[in-house]
Amino acid sequence: MSSSSPKVVEGFPHSVTENSATIYYRDKNEVFYNPVQESNRDLSICVMKNFIALRQKEWDEKQNKRIAKNPDATPYPLRKPRVLEALSATGLRSIRFCKEIVSETGEPLLGSVLVNDLEQAAYESIQRNLEHNDVPKDLGIANLGDATQVMYNHRDKDNQFDIIDLDPYGSAGIFLDGAVQSVSDGGLLSVTCTDLKVLCGNHPEVCFSKYGAMPLRGKMSHEMAVRLVLKTLEAHANLYKRHIVPLVSMYIDFYVRVFVRVFTSPATVKEAPAKISHVFQCTGCTSLHFNPIGKVTPTKDTPKISVSLGPPVGSHCAECGSRFRMGGPIWTHPTVNEDFLKGVLAEMEGHKEKYGHHKRMIGKLKSLQDELHTAPLFHTCGEIANVLHCTTPATAVVTSALKKKGYQVTASHSEPGAIKTDAPVSLIWDFFRCWVKQNPVTRKMADDSPAARILSKEPKEILELGVDEEEKEKKKKRKTEPGRFLPNPREGWGPGSRAHCGKKRKIDEEEGKGKEESAPMEEE
């Protein structure tokens, strides 16, 4: 990002340039702009490019099948996608969409981009920035309106958007109902939520009111936040016989960003209960267990959907004897499409010069790509070692031991030292019992503490302690790759302060009334 502009606009002395777009403003408080989210915009452009290519591929396959059945049939061209940026503020994101999502010859790949904001000042800023960035009037269209109303006005099939981008300051919850109705069948919905304090458990009652689920606190809370948002999107879509298919879902810096396709299919909607689970978290040892809301049983005809049995645990933890908290429900199916993610990563790696935050994002995307996507949430070595008051084993040692038992194990993009695995949690505790035998705990423990109860039991399975050759090779390879958990580039790396004016300020004040700090979750 540059602080200078290639063009001087009279009356607007301030400007910021980000890649192909420059925005102009009179003073810094005129509208909200956050340069930190350049990575968000970079990722959005990569995803949109791959979505447009996928959309065209699916259309071509459909046309080829039609012509194969009827050689005299006339092939129909695919209409370019219509885009809505519902909460634009400056128009920066949409200007980049218009100027950077183009063919090799420079032709725009988008049909139109509706650049919307509620504020008069923002609307005028959008108009000005579109004009001075030479965006064609039929491509970038400024609009003054309430985001939810704009989406509700486009619910009709002929008027739906093919891509909707929601990037609010805070929760996207109030916009999701309109979004899942106004996006076309198979369309792309891109959603940001920056209210991580709510999603990660600081205000569980607020989380329930906005997302219809209770969060749990722990090292896995950022991934749980991603899954809470996906569950909420699915719930809104199901009301209208629609369902989501996640393409890329991530925790980045201080926010959650998810990209999902929305399809209409009453039959698939019936399977939604099997994709969503309650989470049981032990208050003593933090062990996690999942209870799907429903189950799908394959039959000769249509799958049978039924209520699942549960809970998966007793009243007290089998490992340490403590009680459980119940959180969720959350989305427990995969949060990414592996083939699509591969394409997004290839786009960013192949065109680094086009993306200012490519170094950070390539590291994140590689980490996400390597994740075990069939295993929801995770534990960390440090978290478990803290419970037992023992030295922390290297993650590679734990990974090697579990793999030798035939299980899959990976790291996580959201937390260093994570152990994402399909191994039962009891096997993880057996590993640590074996670890403590070779690395004894020196700290004195109370007889009724979780650590004492866990270590009083002999391991049911003996695990080898050591790093296998595969993990050694991975470690060598990572030294040549972009860092996966890079430090913040500068101080103040966060959501920033929101510009206040008119309607937005009133909404903020109304939402803030009656809010109190929630006490931390207490052990039961």
Q: What domains are there in the chain, each with its CATH number?
A: 14-368 (3.40.50.150), 378-478 (3.30.56.70)
User: Do strands 140-144 and 255-264 pair parallel, antiparallel, or not at all (unpaired)?
Assistant: unpaired
Average pLDDT of the residues of the chain: 89
Q: What is the pLDDT of residue 29?
A: 67
User: Is residue 246 classed as helix, strand or coil in its secondary structure?
Assistant: strand
Q: What is the pLDDT of residue 4?
A: 44
Q: 200-229: per-residue pLDDT in tens?
A: 999 999 999 999 999 999 999 999 999 999
Q: Contact at 8 Å (CB) between 53 and 102?
A: no
Q: What is the pTM of this model?
A: 0.90
Q: Residues 471, 473, 474, 476: what is their CA dihedral angle, to the nearest 10 degrees?
A: 130
- Is the dihedral angle over the CA atoms 421, 425, 427, 428 positive or is it negative? positive
Task: Please count the other Cβ atoms lying within 10 Å of the Cβ belonging to residue 6.
Answer: 8
User: Is residue 485 classed as helix, strand or coil in its secondary structure?
Assistant: coil
What would the mean pLDDT of 357-361 be, rounded to a whole number?
Answer: 88
Cis peptide before 329 (omega within 30 of 0): yes
Phi, psi at 242, each rounded to 5°: -125, 165
Task: Please count the other Cβ atoms lying within 10 Å of the Cβ belonging to residue 78.
Answer: 14
Position 308 confidence tier, pLDDT thresholds 50, 70, 90? very high
Q: What is the pLDDT of residue 156?
A: 97
Q: What is the pLDDT of residue 240?
A: 98
Residue 429 CA to its chain's centroid (Å): 29
* Percent of the chain surpassing pLDDT 70: 88
CA separation for the pair 233, 208 (Å, rounded): 14
Cis peptide before 311 (omega within 30 of 0): yes
CA separation for the pair 427, 462 (Å, rounded): 9
CA separation for the pair 159, 38 (Å, rounded): 30
Look up residue 259 and give its two tokens: 């990209």
- Is the dihedral angle over the CA atoms 259, 263, 268, 270 positive or is it negative? positive
CA separation for the pair 139, 47 (Å, rounded): 20
In this predicted structure, the answer to whether residue 440 has a pLDDT above a threshold of 80 is yes
What would the mean pLDDT of 471-492 be, rounded to a whole number?
Answer: 66
Least confident of 52-66, 183-197, 301-315, 416-430: 301-315
List, in order, residues 6 or more apart from 75 with CB less than 8 Å away.
Answer: 63, 66, 67
Residue 208's DSSP bridge partners are: none
User: Do strands 112-117 and 140-144 pair parallel, antiparallel, or not at all (unpaired)?
Assistant: parallel
Residue 409's DSSP bridge partners are: 421
CA separation for the pair 5, 8 (Å, rounded): 7
List, in order, residues 6 or more apart from 329 with CB less than 8 Å away.
Answer: 213, 231, 276, 277, 278, 279, 293
The enclosing H or E element of 231 equals helix 221-238
In this predicted structure, the answer to whether residue 509 has a pLDDT above a threshold of 60 is no
Residue 15's DSSP bridge partners are: 24
Strand (E) positions, 358-408? 379-380
What would the mean pLDDT of 140-165 be, rounded to a whole number?
Answer: 98
List, in order, residues 6 or more apart from 372 with CB less than 8 Å away.
Answer: 408, 409, 410, 420, 421, 422
Straight-line distance from the first to the last Cα atom of the chain, in angstroms, rounded to the nearest whole number = 50
Q: Contact at 8 Å (CB) between 522 and 403?
A: no
CA separation for the pair 233, 228 (Å, rounded): 9
CA separation for the pair 277, 442 (Å, rounded): 39
Helix residue ranges, H only, 389-501: 395-404, 425-438, 450-455, 469-478
Position 12 confidence tier, pLDDT thresholds 50, 70, 90? confident
* Percent of the chain surpassing pLDDT 90: 74
Phi, psi at 425, each rounded to 5°: -65, -25
Residue 256's DSSP bridge partners are: 193, 251
Least confident of 352-356, 469-473, 509-513: 509-513
For residue 82, give the nearest of 8, 5, 2, 182 by alpha carbon: 182
Residue 187's DSSP bridge partners are: 262
Q: What is the pLDDT of residue 464?
A: 87
The two counts, helices (H) then strands (E), for the chain are 17, 17
DSSP string, 310-345: --SS-SS-TTT---EEEEEEEE-S-SS-HHHHHHHH
**Which residue carries 């956050």 as its tokens?**
34
